Amino acid sequence: MTAHAAEPTPGVPPMPERTPKALREAIVEHAPQLLPDFDEHWKWAVADAYDISTVPAFMARWWGQYAIARDPKLDAHVADLEHRAAESTDIAEAKAMLEEASNIRHQVRRLKPGQ
């Protein structure tokens, strides 16, 4: 794992409180490009389903999405790994890049509010 995912670069906003409302507010302020998908997923998975049992899975997904998107360098790094993997003709190399991107996604989901 790169230090990239473990330590956000200076100027990267801290993670919000771990609530849907706080996460949405952080997305609005720091990663507005995520907002349409966030709202659409919320409506489909929680609001229209009338099922709050889906909130933990929803939060896990969007917590990680926001954690990466709030850090432009990390976001670019993950996107680059995934793009290069898609273009690679070497299966082992592509697998290694996708595993690194996956590891970053899993690591950022463990971030705590304020980190």
Q: Give the residue among 57, 51, 25 at the shortest CA–CA distance from 39.
A: 25
Domain annotation covers residue 9: no
pLDDT above 70: percentage of residues in the chain: 92
* pLDDT confidence of residue 49: 85
Residue 68, burial from CB neighbour count under 10 angstroms (0-12, 13-18, 19+):
buried
* pLDDT confidence of residue 3: 44
Domain annotation covers residue 13: no
**Angle 63-6-69 (CA atoms, 0-180°, nearest 5)?**
40
Domain annotation covers residue 7: no
Domain annotation covers residue 5: no
Domain annotation covers residue 31: yes
Q: Is the pLDDT of residue 6 over 90?
A: no
Host domain of residue 91: 18-108
Domain annotation covers residue 26: yes
Domain annotation covers residue 32: yes
The domain tally of the chain equals 1
- Mean of the pLDDT values across residues 39-47? 94
Domain annotation covers residue 93: yes
**Interatomic CA distance for residues 88 and 73, integer angstroms:** 22
Q: Is the pLDDT of residue 91 over 90?
A: yes
CA distances from 77 to 5, 18, 24, 71 (A): 10, 25, 24, 10
Query: What rounded mean pLDDT belongs to the chain?
Result: 92
* pLDDT confidence of residue 8: 54
* pLDDT confidence of residue 10: 77
- Mean of the pLDDT values across residues 61-86? 97
* pLDDT confidence of residue 2: 45
**Interatomic CA distance for residues 55 and 42, integer angstroms:** 9
| Tokens (6 digits) for 54 | 């889906």
Q: Is the pLDDT of residue 79 over 50?
A: yes
